[in-house]
Structure 1
Amino acid sequence: MTAATKRKHVIKEVLENFSMPAPDQTIVKVLGNSGSNLHEVITPSGERFLASLPVKFRKNIWIKRGDYVITEPIIEGDRVKGEIVRILYAQHIKEIKICKMWPKEFEEKVNDFEIVKETEKLKISNESVEGSEEDSDDDDLSDIFVNTNRPPEIFLSDSEEETSDEE
């Protein structure tokens, strides 16, 4: 089986073949990557441990900080206490919530994120409606979303260059 075919089958399995977590499986949140296909995770009870990513997911599926995964415990592990069984996407989380199996500790954080997204959508729609009106009171830019993933832009004034050229 070629790498492309394997990738296709793994992605199809992750996205389409969803089953609810078994009693011995736990829904955890990924806190970060520790290297060597190990991810630091936190359980709803607050326990932190390392979980390994199985070989079939490596180089096919990526996990980032803040994602939710389902893990199975590893009995003989000292540092690595779990193995990632499934990566949860938005549609999977919705199905788990419908079945009332989603941990309450993660519920609030997901709802806060959804509320922030909704308020951003409302701000964007209000700005487009009020775009034709020019009010000097709306010049306060403190409530605009700032993308922290990009470095801040520095704007240089052209007026300094013009004054030095005139002299």
Structure 2
Amino acid sequence: MSRRQKSARQLLYNTPYPTPEEKIARVLGGRGKHLYEIQLIDGTSTLATLPPRFRNVVWVKRGGYVIVLPVEGENKIGAEIVHVLLNEHIKQLRAESIWPKEFDSSQEATKEEPRISEGADEEDDIFINDNRVTVEESSPEEDEDEDD
């Protein structure tokens, strides 16, 4: 079995539990060269690297969660990603009360209530794509007025 297959099976079939030195973090965005900006539970942000065994096996999305191992030193990189958490893993960690409360409250704050328009035209709710040229259609009555 190749290294890629072992990493994929480990990711999909094993529920990861953070050890005392590991921490759960939220991914704020990718910075290139397998570096990701992460936010720790205490609110600090740092760079984390994705080890070669996970590259081309799993993709880390912005807003996703990872388990990281903090790295000591004066580098810009403050942690190494040990495991990428999928939705099934997060549900399991919440069920076992391992999931940090800080990430639950911030996730609820970002959810928006669906917008209900009362008495407004449906045309107001239609998305307007600014990347396309808009063409105004004219009615046949306006065309006759222009000819006169």
- Normalising by the smaller structure, the TM-score range is 0.7 to 0.9
Given that 2:16 and 2:83 are in contact with CA atoms closer than 8 Å, whether structure 1 keeps it comes out as no
Pair 1:137–1:47, CA change in 2 (3 A): closer
Partner of 1:56: 53
Cα distance in 1 for residues equivalent to 2:131 and 2:86: 31
TM-score, scaled relative to structure 2: 0.76
Pair 1:77–1:63, CA change in 2 (3 A): farther
Partner of 2:138: 159
Bigger relative contact order, structure 1 or 2, given CA contacts below 8 A and separation 6+? 2
Give the deviation of 1:141 after TM superposition: 6.6
Give the deviation of 1:163 after TM superposition: 2.6
Give the deviation of 1:57 after TM superposition: 1.1
Seq. identity, %: 31
Aligned-residue Cα RMSD (Å) equals: 3.3
Partner of 1:137: 119
Give the deviation of 1:77 after TM superposition: 5.1
Cα distance in 2 for residues equivalent to 1:53 and 1:152: 35
Pair 1:153–1:97, CA change in 2 (3 A): farther
- In structure 1, stretches of 5+ residues that fail to align are 124-135
Cα distance in 1 for residues equivalent to 2:4 and 2:88: 21
Pair 1:29–1:137, CA change in 2 (3 A): same
TM-score, scaled relative to structure 1: 0.69
